[in-house]
Structure 1
Amino acid sequence: MLKNEKAVVVFSGGQDSTTCLFWALEQFREVEAVTFDYGQRHSLEIECAKGIADELGVKLTVLDMSLLGQLTQNALTRSDIPITHEEGELPSTFVEGRNHLFLSFAAVLAKGVGARHLVTGVCETDFSGYPDCRDAFVKSLNVTLNLAMDFDFVIHTPLMWIDKAQTWQLADELGAFDFVRELTLTCYNGIIGDGCGDCPACKLRRAGMDSYLQTRGTGGSVKEEF
């Protein structure tokens, strides 16, 4: 059914969104991607996204969201704010309103190109407590977008209920394991591939990969969301 449909993927060039891009290419007839320039500390993220989209033959739109970086105080838009995560508090990398705005602008783009499907890599399993990665938020926004724009959007979250090990498994099942490992940018210090190994994003990514590789080939399954 979805093979006759068009989708827009919210895309950063990281592990999760790249896995979702490969997933979307399997599911939909036509796929576009949208990347946001919100003043993130590593502009290499945008170049990485462009390179991946070009490699996969996917049309990529880059939207200027620099105002978001001016409105928030966080470690992803301010190099003078350290990357920290104190127990019981949100990490300093949390960008207020980011997924809300990204999905809303992606919906405007999607309606303009005739796509009713939006794909995002948010996850409630390894989400560091980010409130805008929760399933309840996504479902709520889906209803709001449909009402606000009088259009039947469907927001897909293929990673919502799986952990990083299962995300690596999904990439492997899609034939993209090496591609994701070598060409994506997850590292908070701006190092493509396996990253710096020390920041929280790299540690989570590496722990998931190591866990998956220990069980690779044992026939485990990944729950897919449609």
Structure 2
Amino acid sequence: MAEKVVVIYSGGMDSFTVLNKARMQGHEVYALSFNYGQRHVKELEVAKAVCERLGVDHKIVDISAINQLIGGSSLTDDIDVPEGHYEEESMKSTIVPNRNMILLSLAVGYAVSLKANKVYYGAHSGDHAIYPDCRPEFVKKMDDVCRIANYDEVEIVCPYLDSSKIDILRDGLAMDLDYSQTWTCYNGREQACGKCGACQERLEAFAENNATDPLPYES
């Protein structure tokens, strides 16, 4: 009998790879996406389409009311999204306070209700410089807490925690994944901007893998 797992699925290329990796490992996957008041819902629409195509059970949960409490991010407030690489100081404006702790807590509650014992999410080494809630020490502590927070132990799984986006894409390409089914750009326009940190890191990953990004770009 397949093991049930919950995958936090944003619609981006990292979580898309994690979702497919969990499926290919033989797990019964329950995908969970969140509307937390981000600038656009394009990535959620992409996530929905992918799960429908794969026949994966998928929930999109509206938690946008939390923006009354956790404002100040360029991803949720009326603040310009910075352009440039993730290693630049300006990218700190894209931090949504406590986001991953909140999302993981909700995903763990869902896992307990399903009698699933693992929650997957797509933190990776490229996030470590800017996002504290993607660093190994955070994942370790969250894993420790989630194992004792309920009668049923739930493990936090980050298969790419020590990998770069370049490595993630390499793994996904080896799995023959179609990355036209993902959305990465912080802006929700018809085409990706090619200038924000998310786009730049994505384009760098494709270039380093000698592959062509199937998404159209404004520039």
Query: 2:23 aligned with 1:25, yes or no?
Result: yes
Q: How does 1:105-116 map to 2 (within 5 A)?
A: 105-116=106-117
Q: 1-side partners of 2:23 and 2:151: how far apart? A: 26
DSSP 3-state at the match of 1:201: helix
RMSD: 2.0
Match of residue 62 from structure 2: 64
DSSP 3-state at the match of 2:61: strand
Measure how far apart 1:24 and its partner are. Answer: 0.5
Match of residue 130 from structure 2: 129
Match of residue 79 from structure 2: 81
Measure how far apart 1:27 and its partner are. Answer: 1.5
CA contact (8 A) 2:146 2:156 kept: no
Measure how far apart 1:104 and its partner are. Answer: 0.6
What count of residue pairs does the alignment treat as equivalent? 207
Which of residues 33, 46, 49 in structure 2 aligns to 1:48? 46
What's the CA shift string for 1:69-94, capped at 9, x where partnerless?
A: 2222111112x201237955662111
CA contact (8 A) 1:39 1:66 kept: yes
Match of residue 215 from structure 2: none
Q: 1-side partners of 2:87 and 2:208: how far apart? A: 25
Measure how far apart 1:188 and its partner are. Answer: 0.8
Q: 2-side partners of 1:157 and 1:133: how far apart? A: 9
Measure how far apart 1:108 and its partner are. Answer: 0.5
- Percent of aligned positions that are identical: 36
Match of residue 117 from structure 1: 118
Which TM-score applies when normalising by structure 2? Answer: 0.87
Query: 2:194 aligned with 1:197, yes or no?
Result: yes
More off after superposition, 61-70 vs 113-122: 61-70
Q: Provide structure 2 residue ranges, at least 5 long, that are not aligned to the other structure.
A: 212-219
Measure how far apart 1:23 and its partner are. Answer: 0.5
Q: Provide structure 1 residue ranges, at least 5 long, that are not aligned to the other structure.
A: 215-226
Q: 2-side partners of 1:159 and 1:146: how far apart? A: 20
Q: 1-side partners of 2:27 and 2:125: how far apart? A: 28
Match of residue 146 from structure 1: 147
What's the CA shift string for 1:48-82, capped at 9, x where partnerless?
A: 1111111111110111211232222111112x201
Q: 1-side partners of 2:202 and 2:75: how far apart? A: 18
Cα 1:86/1:134, change in 2 over 3 Å:
closer
Which TM-score applies when normalising by structure 1? Answer: 0.85
Q: 2-side partners of 1:39 and 1:173: how far apart? A: 34
The letter of the residue matching 2:95 is F
What's the CA shift string for 1:155-208, capped at 9, x where partnerless?
A: 1111111112111111012220xx12x12110011257x722111110110011
Q: 2-side partners of 1:125 and 1:39: how far apart? A: 24
